[in-house]
Amino acid sequence: MSITAQDIAALRAKTGAGMMDCKKALEGADGNIDKAIDELRKKGIAKAAKRADKIAAEGLVYSYIHGNGKIGVLLELNCETDFVAKTDKFKDLAHDMAMHIAAVSPKYLSREEVSEDEIAKEKDVYAEQLKNEGKPEEMIEKIVEGKLGKFYSEICLLEQSFIKDEDKTVEQVLVQASAEIGEKVTLRRFSRFELGEGIEKKACDFAEEVAEQMGE
């Protein structure tokens, strides 16, 4: 059965779950909204989505150092109460998020942070590639949008496949954590540091260096 945008919108309105979660639930339920709702509830997604309007102002700032001091991550993970912030489960989640950031190196938290200029540049590159491949003009825009989705999944933390479970995005892991913990959980911001990053290193001609040392 074909799943329409209207079906997805209807399920989102009933559960508050994300678009991709609703799409997958509907596909698994052969388009039956009631079955899809049950599936989302089993996964805890519908329950967690209802907490979306809650304020998550507690939490912790977590630091992680990787590779003998070569890479460092600082992030802010939020929840609703100080009690939850002190639990091992919440701290473990912060650790997993930091490890993911250290390993995958996302540029942004979400697609909303990507500048219009960067998006326009990517679209132009994709469109030019497709034209050179001889793709029909009427298909190019649709293909470009698909490529842009992959682009976001590579650079935006929340849309990346989680390193410990590649069947889930980071956002889905956070939603699942919200359901299991019973509080809204959000990753508000992060910074990743890599030793020597941004430093322009002087190119060295080895033969010239040896000659200088020998006084030639």
Each residue of 78-88: pLDDT tens digit?
999 999 999 99
Residue type for 53, please? D
pLDDT digits (tens, 9 = 90+) for 88-111: 999 999 999 999 999 999 999 999
pTM over 0.75: no
- Residue 159 near residue 110, CB atoms below 8 Å: yes
- Ordered domains of the chain (ranges, CATH): 5-49 (1.10.8.10), 58-194 (3.30.479.20)
Mean pLDDT of all residues in 44-60 = 72
